[in-house]
Amino acid sequence: MRPRARPAHELADTPRNLADDGQRSTSPLRRTTVTRVQVRVRLGAGLARLATAPLLTLDLRDGATLADLYARLADAEPDLEGALRSALPVVAGAHVTPTTPLADRQEVALLLPVSGG
């Protein structure tokens, strides 16, 4: 079972060099380090009502893409899974594609399309 996403206000600094199992490696024979990135996810009103908080912070592997973020978010917040198919991702004011790589401390806004007139 994967840990749930943490609301941003509960976020504390966490280690950046982690072993594959998410723990610090203490073995002198094998020191596998995996660099992690922390990504903040700001959910628009339509998505925020389905999640535990409107602003979440997720830990991803270095080199993770938006598609990886969606998969991790669906695991952490199962009620969002169906709605994520319609979400429009925005990074730094621009729409991005699922292959867009994410950087440490980057914020991704997920918005639902609005229709009407």
Query: Which domains can be identified in the chain, with CATH numbers?
Result: 32-37+51-111 (3.10.20.30)
Give me the long-range contacts of 19-28 (CB less than 8 A, separation at least 24).
Answer: none
d(CA 112, CA 89): 9
> In this predicted model, what pLDDT tens digit does every residue of 55-101 receive, in sequence order?
999 999 999 999 999 999 999 999 999 999 999 999 999 999 999 99
d(CA 37, CA 29): 26
Token readout for 51 is 């999640």
Which one-letter DSSP state was computed for residue 44? P
Token readout for 32 is 């596998």
pLDDT (0 to 100) of residue 115 = 73
Phi, psi dihedrals of residue 52, rounded to the nearest 5°: -75, -20
Name the strand (E) or helix (H) holding 47: helix 45-48
